[in-house]
Structure 1
């Protein structure tokens, strides 16, 4: 995947609006393109996400395709320990790096502007939604975000997201879809790294968050 291009480090202090449950699981599909020095690169990423805000940890299975290159990586973010584990499921190689900051709350950010209310589908099974827009700025990054969420009482669930702008000299455009979201963590062992990671040293490089809604 396009590491080092679509990434940034930021610390957010204020979150407002609706939030997802503290613990949830689901799918995130990302389709996008970046243009660097006039060269375009398309990519497709499917993330199986387990988000545990209660214990400050996130686990993912990331299946990505960029051109003809495919990677399948298990990723664990343990914010209490300040460590990210990367386990390449094609080679079984484990690497560890530092995490800076805390877990990003799964909430609509404080600087978001609410747009119109919409619904998906039709008839008795239509799904209501609310749209939000904001600009994410950091050094070398200027990205506009559009997010649609489906409200459910005091909580909300993301449905779709669009991100477009500039990240680290590259022009980027991404569309994101969220599917099959359920409350709770079905299998807590997804947050436990395999034994092959035990003796691996932590690299000096630090994990950098993406600019999207969940920083993933």
Structure 2
């Protein structure tokens, strides 16, 4: 069974009293490139995936189309996470199956123990005064160490690295988010496909708790 590793860190600055917290825009879209290395059943595995996603915190739903390779085997699968219905639909090879969502809508803030490390300004865009500011954060969740970069202009994720151990196995993941836009351009991405209309909810899906943000770490049927 192929995994399709996917992690989003969804960021912007919000102020609560005198405490700054890094959280996400309520609605945004983008394309994410992910490389994950881990161990499954004692066997090292490498997963490369591309995810086109739409994140809608206002309506507690996420749509994502994923494709990639795991150890040389190609996969393609689409996800529709409807958290108000506590259901995830997975479409693969024209077939659709549904599972009960164990988790609530994913967190879209970095933990408060994460710290700001640096800020960099990049020039060279269309207009002479154009610039891009990138902020860097670091922190730990359990036995995993995170390095997160975000865009100061869009307040959206740019790059993330994770390394350490999970379930007593070595884990590494690097991800980059590109073509990020605010809002939802086409709400139809959240329309249930006809192949899913008769799908009965069978089994459960639980997102691994070590990931930050919206995650699609594996085939829910596993």
TM-score by length of structure 1 reads: 0.82
RMSD, aligned CA: 2.7
Structure 1: give runs of 5+ residues left out of the alignment.
8-14
Establish whether residue 33 from structure 1 lines up as the match of residue 37 from structure 2: yes
- Quote the Cα distance in structure 2 between the aligned partners of 1:36 and 1:6: 17
Pick from 81, 84, 105: which aligns with 1:80?
Answer: 84
Match of residue 115 from structure 1: 117
Question: Do the aligned partners of residues 135 and 215 (structure 1) sit closer, same or farther apart at CA in structure 2, a change above 3 Å counting?
Answer: farther
CA contact (8 A) 2:107 2:214 kept: no
Give yes or no for the alignment of 1:106 onto 2:127.
Answer: no
1:59 matched residue in structure 2: 63
Q: Once the 2 structures are TM-superposed, how far is the Cα of residue 113 of structure 1 from its aligned partner?
A: 1.4
Task: Name the SS of the counterpart of 1:185 in structure 2.
Answer: coil
TM-score by length of 2: 0.80
Cα deviation, residue 144, structure 1: 1.3
Q: Which sits farther off after the overlay, 157-166 or 103-112? A: 103-112
Distance 1:120 1:161, change over 3 A: farther
Corresponding residue SS for 2:152: strand
2:145 paired with 1:144? yes
Runs of 4+ in 1 over 3 A off after TM superposition: 35-39, 119-126, 209-213
For 2:90 and 2:41, locate their aligned partners in 1 and report how far apart those are by CA, in whole Å.
Answer: 29
What is the DSSP-based 3-state SS (H/G/I as helix, E as strand, rest coil) of the residue aligned with 2:47? strand
Q: Decide whether aligned partners of structure 1 residues 57 and 27 sit closer, same or farther in structure 2, where only a CA change above 3 A counts.
A: same
What runs of 5+ residues in structure 2 fail to find an aligned partner? Answer: 8-18, 216-222
Is 1:134 the equivalent of 2:139?
A: yes
Deviation at 1:199, TM superposition (A): 1.7
Are the aligned partners of 2:119 and 2:133 in contact in 1 as well (CA < 8 Å)?
Answer: yes
Residues 4-43 of structure 1 mapped to structure 2, 5 A cutoff: 17-36=21-40, 39-43=43-47
- Aligned positions, number: 201
Is the contact between residue 6 and residue 167 of structure 1 (CA under 8 Å) also seen in structure 2? no
Deviation at 1:78, TM superposition (A): 0.7
Matches of 1:37 and 1:79, distance apart in 2: 30
1:26 to partner: Cα distance: 0.5
